[in-house]
Amino acid sequence: MVKAGDRLPTYAADLAEAVAEHRNEIVLLLNRTIKAGETNPILKPHVLQDELKRVAEECKAPTLLESAFAKQLEWCQEAVVYDGCVAFSLRPTVGKYFHCRICVGSMQVDDLTVSEYLRFKEKLVNGKRDPTEEFWQLEIDLEPFNAHFPKLTRPNSIGEGVKFLNRHLSSRLFASNNADFHMIFDFLLTLSYNGQSLMLNERIKSAQEMGSALDKADRLLKKYECDTPIEEVAVKLQDMGFERGWGNTVGRTQNTMHLLADIMQACDPETLQAFLGRLPMGFKVVILSPHGFFGQQNVLGKPDTGGQVVYILDQVRALEREMLARIRQQGLTGVEPQILVVTRLIPEAQGTTCDQRMEHISGTHHSRILRVPFRDESGILQHWVSRFDVWPYLERFAVDAGGEIRAELGGRPDLIIGNYSDGNLVASLLSFHLNVTQCTIAHALEKTKYPDADINWEKLDEDYHFAAQFTADVIAMNHSDFIITSTFQEIAGTQDTVGQYEDHQSFTMPGLYRIVHGIDVFDPKFNIVSPGADSDIYFSYDQEERRLTSLHREIEELLFGKEEAPLAKGVLKEPNKPIIFSMARLDHVKNLTGLAEWFGQNKRLRKLCNLVLVGGIVDPDNTTDREEKEQCIKMHKIIEEYGLQGELRWLVAQKNPVLNGEIYRYVADTRGAFVQPALYEAFGLTVVEAMSCGLPTFATICGGPAEIVVDKKSGFSIDPYHGNEAAETMANFFEESAKNPDSWLEVSRGSLARVQEKYTWTLYADRLMTLNRIYSFWKYVSDLERRETRRYLQMFYILMMRPLIAKVQKQQAEERARKEAA
């Protein structure tokens, strides 16, 4: 804190100056903020903005809106009100924060450090408890560990970590003037397959010797035609110290060797990436997704089983194709890629295959699902448990799965990919113990979905166990060698909104710990690699010859049939109208109930279209999931309240993707649209699916869909917090499309073009395989420096995560005992 007499650091000084310009109005604004803080002491930006407008109007001071203070308020992500003071968290640009506090009585402005800001915020929970207590709260600060690692500097380059890393590595190699080449040489020596060396053998003893051996090999290879199969020269190359892996033909081998020779001469990022990208490695991949029902049929739409399963299965197919193509190009024989998706085995499998230990993944040759049960002291856990409740089982799962993975793969994997918080925690444990490259994929970080869940963690802990989850997330994102995200916003948000990872930069859970530096969005470990939609299932409605017309009777029965509970609710009275379609898990955040409400309230829209919703269950007694039940009951209420029975049809979760693909297209035939109304959506596969079918899409601006859809070109962005406006936008679109069918076609074509350009699995697999090679090399060369972070994280895990897990376990045991007693 700035003490009396100190010169004010820039920010507080700027703010004090800005306040002085409009002192009267700002005092009024701050007093109102303090008043508003009595109901909710953590104020979101829109509340402050709205208040600012009101004050400017009431005081007849329009210049206030243009003032320096108003500009600074635009940066505000949150204001905390306590004891007559307002503390602001200001974010002038992505990933950069200032904190300051104004005490309204004296109008004193102070700069705060992150730690001071969080301590001030903690007072909301701790009140005026012993003030010395705040000094004993554990503070986690990962910044010093990463201080000597290279960092991106421009917000525009966030998510392009690999590009930056290549530049860094190549300039390091270039600057070292050959001194660092032993790193490449040593790394090449580590490459092998089932004990068989690749690329180099023991005949080459040093980086220098490698240089002259490359010249010798070049002289030999020049004597052959480029397309000569490598088998014809393999023995001669071996004598020179080169094993298989350089290429399948003389030409490709020569080319790979030239890349290495060029790197040794004068390294540049493109050549380095091209060379590393060709290395024969990453043959054994483990993908972890412990929770939920992970299967290939009958699983989608269950409370925890959505896009992650679809994503992984598509990812596996694309990765295997890419791995096979690379193995072919590397000229390797007898090498087979292996991908293991490791999940939990659920004995009470509810009509799925989740009780089978091993399952082949269709559409692949070498990929399998391996299921390992959750166990505790009373044996194998028989039933499904929510993703929020899995924490007590994960350590044991990691040990059991680790053993089974090694047995199945005949050794340790080359790459471990974690999915979601639980998978990423297990991936961290395994990669720590096996020293394997770790990739993190969050899919969704719950902290963003549940605003203020950090400060209120104690209230929510019984239902959600967020303390364990957020701790797991911080550990995994820091432990991981590289992180893949589907969009930019997942890392660093937008100019106005905070990204999901960025949200872990600093936060506090009073009484537990305070994170003053949890993650840096400028870290080069972040890479945007967007998924796609399976092009065999999700293709355009106008590809007539591919259409699955044999499914139309079933679809018509679903959409327009008379069957109701327990499989459906509502029967459409006017089936000829265009359909507004939405499909999601029946979660609060997915907001299907919100969409039903917007529709109910907009007479114009109701006249123009029917609403078809696919989600969850229709009978609330058919679920054990708390949120699903609550949303189901709410949906029934909305249907009653607005009298929607003849205009809305609500179907239970549809678990067959092939049928769903044809449903999207059928809806397109009606000149309908897809709506993704979520209050927050991390990415939103349904948006890509609908767009791939040529269905105009209205998608939430909160989260990933804002990046997928280009507003008014390839769809429409809607604000779920302004449902009326969203409904109006839809009504305008349908009105226009009824008058001018070309307007519908234009948006449909825009959607198709957008997904083809940006969201395909082929692009994804190529990128991921290249990233694996580059980050594995980086892990190898920076291993020693990283050990500090890993040790710090290990301590955090043992001293914080384990007690949190024990707490969840205790809560669950008490709940079981309560239920049994009742």
Residues that bind ligand UDP (CB under 6 A): 300-301, 306-308, 310, 583-585, 614-615, 653-655, 657, 660, 683-686, 689
Is the backbone peptide bond immediately before 290 cis, with ω within 30 degrees of 0? no
With CB cut-offs between 5 and 8 Å by kind, which of ligand LCN, ligand UDP, none does residue 109 bind? none
Partner in contact with 253, chosen from ligand UDP, ligand LCN, none, beta carbon below 5 to 8 Å by kind: none
For ligand LCN, the closer CB: 600 or 684: 684
| Neighbour-count burial of 250, counting CB atoms closer than 10 A to its CB (0-12 exposed, 13-18 middle, 19+ buried) | buried
For ligand UDP, give the closer residue by CB, 218 or 619. 619
Q: What is the DSSP string of 430-478?
A: HHHHHT-EEEEE-S--HHHHSTTTTTTHHHHHHHH-HHHHHHHHHHHHH
- Assess contact for 191 and 280: CB atoms under 8 A: yes
- Of these partners, ligand LCN, ligand UDP, none, which one is at the site of residue 693 (CB under 5 to 8 Å by kind)? none
Distance CA 246, CA 558 (A): 55
- In terms of CB distance, is 285 or 444 closer to ligand LCN? 444
Nearest CA to 201 out of 243, 234, 237 is that of: 243
Q: Strands 648-651, 568-569: parallel, antiparallel or unpaired by DSSP?
A: antiparallel
Closest contact distance (angstroms) between CB of 348 and ligand LCN is 24
Would you give the DSSP letter of residue 687? H
Min. distance of Cβ 120 from ligand UDP in angstroms? Answer: 35
Q: Concatenate the DSSP letters of all residues of 21-71 into one string.
A: HTHHHHHHHHHHHHHHHHH-SEE-HHHHHHHHHHHHHHTT-GGGGGSHHHH
Binding site partner of 653, from ligand LCN, ligand UDP, none, Cβ cut-off 5-8 A by kind: ligand UDP
Q: What is the binding site for ligand LCN (CB under 6 A)?
A: 307-308, 311, 443-444, 486, 681-685
List 110's β-bridge partners, or say none: 101
Q: C-beta of 529: minimal distance to ligand LCN in Å? A: 11
Least distance (Å) between residue 655 CB and ligand UDP: 6
3-state DSSP of 236-255: HHHHHCECCCCCCEHHHHHH
The smaller minimum CB distance to ligand UDP, of residues 214 and 632, is found at: 632
Q: Select the binding partner of residue 278 from ligand LCN, ligand UDP, none (C-beta < 5 to 8 A, by kind).
A: none
Q: How far is the CB of 1 from ligand LCN (least distance, A)?
A: 40
**CB nearer to ligand UDP: pick between 654 and 789:** 654
Integer CA distances (angstroms), 277 to 161, 270, 323, 328, 331, in order:
15, 10, 12, 14, 15
Q: Which does 301 bind (CB under 5 to 8 A by kind): ligand LCN, ligand UDP, none?
A: ligand UDP
**Which among ligand LCN, ligand UDP, none contacts residue 120 (Cβ within 5 to 8 A by kind)?**
none
Quick one: what does residue 280 bind among ligand UDP, ligand LCN, none, with the CB cut-off 5 to 8 Å set by partner type?
A: none
Q: Which is nearer to ligand UDP, 293 or 733 (CB)?
A: 293
Q: Which is nearer to ligand UDP, 260 or 682 (CB)?
A: 682
What, of ligand LCN, ligand UDP, none, does residue 416 touch, CB below 5 to 8 Å by kind?
Answer: none
Distance CA(22)–CA(61), nearest Å, equals 9
Q: What is the per-residue burial (b if ≥16 Cβ within 10 Å, else e) of 98-127?
A: bbbbbebeeeebbbbebbbbbbbbbbbbbe
- Nearest approach in angstroms of CB 544 to ligand LCN is 29
Q: How many CA atoms lie within 13 A of 551 on its CB side?
A: 17
- Closer to ligand UDP at the Cβ: 585 or 671? 585
Report, in Å, the least distance between residue 625 CB and ligand UDP: 13
Kind of pairing, strands 648-651 and 610-614? parallel
Beta-bridge partner residues of 112: 99
Smaller CB distance to ligand LCN: residue 443 or 525?
443
Which residue reads 């105009």 in tokens? 696
272 contact, one of ligand LCN, ligand UDP, none, CB 5-8 Å limit per kind? none
Q: What are the CA-CA distances from residue 324 to residues 279, 327, 355 (Å)?
A: 13, 5, 30
What is the DSSP secondary structure assignment for residue 79, as one 8-state letter? E
The item of ligand UDP, ligand LCN, none sharing an interface with residue 584, based on CB under 5 to 8 Å by kind, is ligand UDP
Task: For residue 390, report the phi and psi dihedrals to the nearest 5 degrees.
Answer: -85, -10
In whole angstroms, the minimum distance from the beta carbon of 685 to ligand UDP comes to 3
Q: Which residue is nearest to ligand LCN (CB)?
A: 307
Q: How far is the CB of 444 from ligand UDP (least distance, A)?
A: 6
Q: Between 419 and 670, whose beta carbon lies closer to ligand UDP?
A: 419
Contacts of 258 (CB under 8 A, 6+ apart): 218
Select the residue whose beta carbon is closest to ligand UDP and give its number: 306
Q: To the nearest whole angstrom, how small is the minimum distance from the Cβ of residue 690 to ligand UDP? A: 9
From residue 280, give the alpha-carbon distance in Å to each of 331, 333, 435, 656, 764. 9, 12, 19, 37, 19
Burial (Cβ within 10 Å: 0-12, 13-18, ≥19) of residue 636: middle
Q: Which of 657, 750 has the CB closer to ligand UDP?
A: 657
Q: Secondary structure of 221-234 in the HEC alphabet?
A: HCCCCCCCEHHHCH
Query: Residue 582: which H helix or E strand, with range?
Result: strand 579-583
Nearer to ligand UDP, 470 or 683 (CB): 683
CB of 446 vs ligand LCN, minimal distance in Å? 10
Chosen from ligand LCN, ligand UDP, none, partner binding at 210 (C-beta under 5 to 8 Å by type): none
| Min dist. Cβ of residue 576 to ligand LCN (A) | 33
Q: How far apart are CA 215 and CA 280, in angstroms?
A: 21
Interaction partner, residue 300 (ligand LCN, ligand UDP, none; CB < 5-8 Å by kind): ligand UDP
Residue closer to ligand LCN by CB (options 41, 715) is 715
How does 517-527 read in b/e, with b if 16+ C-beta sit within 10 Å? bbbbbbbbbbb
Minimum CB distance to ligand LCN, residue 420 (Å): 8
In three-state form (DSSP H/G/I as H, E/B as E, the rest C), the secondary structure along 539-574 is CCCCCHHHCCHHHHHHHHHHHHCCCCCCCEECCCCC
Residue 327 binds which one of ligand LCN, ligand UDP, none, with CB within 5 to 8 A depending on kind?
A: none
| Least distance from ligand UDP to the Cβ atom of residue 301, Å | 3
Nearest to 684 by CA among 711, 704, 664, 661: 704
For ligand LCN, the closer of residues 283 and 761 by Cβ is 761
Q: Which residue has the tokens 């279209």?
A: 609
| 707-720 b/e (C-beta count within 10 Å ≥ 16 → b) | bbbeeeebbbbbeb
Select 165 or 682, whichever has its Cβ closest to ligand LCN. 682
Task: Report the partner that residue 665 touches, choosing among ligand LCN, ligand UDP, none (CB closer than 5 to 8 A by kind).
Answer: none
Shortest Å distance, C-beta 16 to ligand UDP: 45
